[in-house]
Structure 1
Amino acid sequence: MRASSLAAALFAFLALVGSTSASDPDLLQDVCVADLNSTVKVNGFPCKAQFNATDFFSNLLVKPGNTSNAQGSIVTAANVLRFPGLNTLGVSISRIDYAPGGQNPPHTHPRATEIVFVLYGELDVGFITTANVLVAKTIKPGEVFVFPRGLVHFQRNNGNVPAAVVAAFNSQLPGTQTIANTLFGATPPVPDNVLATAFQVGIQEVQFVKSKFAPK
């Protein structure tokens, strides 16, 4: 095989591998509505014996969420835990609402890439690569922005009016790790000296920040 043909075949193979490993596993039947009450533990959820149209419908995203909290934002998630028909389909969706000045703080989704579509308002968004490069932009109604799987990212409403986006994921249950909550609100707690060294601050500063994220 000529070198150019070999390179093309290798590229095609890598593209195929990437496309098959970047989201949830393929389904093996038409539908598998999640049985959230099953005691069987699998990578996902077992299938219900009976299903109907209601399992494939959700009105979770119809109304704006309550943004009266410390971050000034709220994520309304329609993932498999609240939308059982998504089981094995490799997709989920959320609505994120932001008060003026509100933000969805730095976080990651370990199991999914995220793409957001702006419903209204304007947002400053960005993600950070593993080389510590910030990729950021301001997005407006009708525009979209994508956050690669596993990378730390954020959205912030710097405007004077509310904003909202619809976020789509290539996983039925993307998972979310908010950086501050993960480090300062874990149970059991991350040792103070670990965080003090990581952030180059004193133990007292770490304990003060931890007090803000103490489990309710």
Structure 2
Amino acid sequence: MMKIDVLSLFPAMFTGIFGESILKKANEKQAVTYNVINFREFADNKHGQVDDYPYGGGAGMVLKPQPIFDAVESLKGENELKPRVILMCPQGERYTQSKAEELAKEEHLIFICGHYEGYDERIREHVVTDEISIGDYVLTGGELGAMVVIDSVVRLLPGVLGNEDSPVKDSFSSGLLEHPHYTRPADFRGMKVPSELISGNHRLIEEWREKESFRRTFERRPDLLGNHTLSEKQKQWIEEWEKSR
């Protein structure tokens, strides 16, 4: 079972997301446990202050090291492997599906969510194992980013999704975007489902999905193909599409 701890000054933000949908079902299936801690409880002063002015001056407040160090240390089990301690911040590694797959193999994840100008650098240097950003923009705190990462990781845990093939065939898992999907009716207002999908021919269906997955990536996210070695078939597809433009 995976254990997920979250350090946040606003723990109530996680009540809804952990109590609904796949994340709730994952907990009910005992695939994961969630624990959200207000790290203000670890402040060593009577006012519960967890931030202070930055040395050298400047705008905003900086998260103090003491509450974070003490909170993380309290969450580490005596006999467990070293947990992955994840700092959500704009300066971190840009989050990807491959990172989600990597984190899904861990037994214990600790997320640190700040709400100030920055973190004392000693937190980064001596507590954190990973720094993650969910995109090139700034949020008011790390909570929403942590929710995104947790959702993407938990759905990959064994037994969480009803269809075990679902996460394998997701967009980005293969390095490409996922192919289009259709359902009944086969003809809706004159808009018809591709004949390959209703042919009953599994080889034809897989070929169509492979081609459409590559087409969607080529048209919408060509940057994903930068490190992708093109097969002869894929080169022919690109020539075909470029000629039809």
Pick the TM interval, shorter chain: under 0.3
Find the structure with the greater CA-based Rg: 2
**TM-score, normalised by the number of residues in structure 1:** 0.26
**TM-score, normalised by the number of residues in structure 2:** 0.24
Larger fraction in helix: 2
